[in-house]
Amino acid sequence: MNKKLAVQVSGAVVTMLAMSTMFGCANYEVNSKRGNIPGHYIRQEMQEADRAVEAARQAGKDKTCPAEFKAAEDAKNHAYDVFRACHTEEGAALAKEATAKAEALCPPQPVAKEVVQPAEVVQPAEVVQPSAAPAEVVLVPVPVPEPTPEMMKYCVFLDIEYDINSAEIRPQYQDQVAKVGEFMKKNPSTTALIEGYADEVGPAGYNLQLSQLRAENVVKSLVDNYGIDPNRLSAKGYGEAKPVSTNASEVGKQQNRRIAAIIDCVIDVKELTAPPERLCISLKLEFATGSAGIDSRYHDEISKVGEYMKRYPTTSAVIEGHTDNSGDAEQNMKLSQQRAETVVNYLAEQFGIERSRLSAKGYGSSRSIAYNTTPEGRQQNRRINAIIDCVINK
């Protein structure tokens, strides 16, 4: 690992450790791992449900009222399933319900009081008592319950992939980070845990530091660009642990170099305006060795981008060209620029897109998405990546 990265990583780690000591996590407590939830912290509602169910078991309520006990235990397990699926607020709310069920188990039954009937009074035969008129029954109207507004759950997610040995957020993911930033600004009670990961290539210690730096860079972006309070954010690097795909292939390694974020959802009334739909499009091409020519199999993909940009004339696009690491670095930089310019020319000439809306940038072999040790990896690095504006569909 180069010394500059080591200094950056160690400084960032110390900073985040100091922040975690100062602030902690709102509504969180140390995770006992009872529910197989990863991480050092967990929402306190989850473990309160654990404790309530266990207390009921210790009190023998699993035998006194087994059906009700099982319902409480099932409710607690369901809350963990929901929480484990990253629905943080919903899982915590269900855990509260499970706690209430566990604490209300086997209530004492009221003892029926014996009603003593008064002794019958025998009236003298000659005295006839008139029958008492029945008391008038007054009907009390049952109040109509107030209507409960239908509630909606709003959530946002963040999934980012990285270049090899890089903690820089790729430009195409800035829109995702912006969604999270705006969501957390609008909902100031939300918190987020940003988790960083790496593939298994290289030393485990280096991968752990790199994954931590990836998580911290996302936190820094949310703080610097969207004004999110650092107290609401935490970063955790897991290195090469918890892979989501096999590391035996380049595609799998790419999927493992990632960020996953656990962000609180919010529950709100349905009448509030839902977020507008965002329309986005992407473009990815691969090239033959040493070539900047566009393979005919990609014409349909480029046509989709051309039609999209014609329909939405305010959009612009940055076309990025890349190469593998074979050959001379200077030649690779020129080749990557030619690849980007070829796509720009195609969009301008075939679809009439103004060149002022298009730009080409070559990066040579500096931004690898796969390892150049295999033909498969080199093929994936000989590519075009396009950053195209999204539009709001109101």
Does the structure show a pLDDT above 70 at 371? yes
Distance CA 98, CA 52 (A): 8
Question: Could you say which of 3.50.50.60, 2.60.40.1930, 3.30.1330.60, 3.40.50.720 is the CATH number of the domain covering 277-393?
Answer: 3.30.1330.60
Does the structure show a pLDDT above 80 at 36? no
Residues 20-43, mean pLDDT to the nearest whole number:
62
Assign 267 a pLDDT band (cuts: 50, 70, 90).
confident
Q: What percent of the chain has pLDDT over 70?
A: 76
- pTM: predicted TM-score of the whole model, two decimal places: 0.50
User: What pLDDT score was predicted for residue 194?
Assistant: 94
User: What pLDDT score was predicted for residue 181?
Assistant: 92
Alpha-carbon 20 to chain mean position: 21
User: What pLDDT score was predicted for residue 14?
Assistant: 39
Indicate the range of 28-32, 166-170, 180-184 predicted with least confidence.
Answer: 28-32
| DSSP letter (8 states) at residue 158 | -
Does the structure show a pLDDT above 90 at 145? no
Does the structure show a pLDDT above 80 at 147? no
Strand partners, 259: 160, 196
- Among left, alpha and beta (phi > 0; psi -120 to 50; other), residue 242 is left
| DSSP letter (8 states) at residue 298 | G
User: What pLDDT score was predicted for residue 273?
Assistant: 52
Does the structure show a pLDDT above 80 at 355? yes
Between 289 and 43, the more confident residue is: 289
Convert the pLDDT of each residue in 213-249 to its tens digit.
999 999 999 999 999 999 999 999 999 998 988 998 8
Per-domain boundaries in the chain? 23-103, 151-269, 277-393
CATH class of 151-269: alpha beta
User: What pLDDT score was predicted for residue 11?
Assistant: 47
Distance CA 21, CA 42 (A): 16
Helices 88-103, 66-84: axis angle to 10 degrees equals: 170
* Strand arrangement, sheet containing 233-237: 159-161, 258-263, 192-196, 233-237
pLDDT mean across residues, the chain: 80
Please tell me if the domain spanning 151-269 has the same topology as the one spanning 277-393: yes
Distance CA 323, CA 333 (A): 8
Residues 165-187, mean pLDDT to the nearest whole number:
90
Residues 36-45, mean pLDDT to the nearest whole number:
75
User: What pLDDT score was predicted for residue 35?
Assistant: 67
Assign 317 a pLDDT band (cuts: 50, 70, 90).
very high
Alpha-carbon 160 to chain mean position: 11
Does the structure show a pLDDT above 50 at 103? yes
Between 3 and 276, the more confident residue is: 276
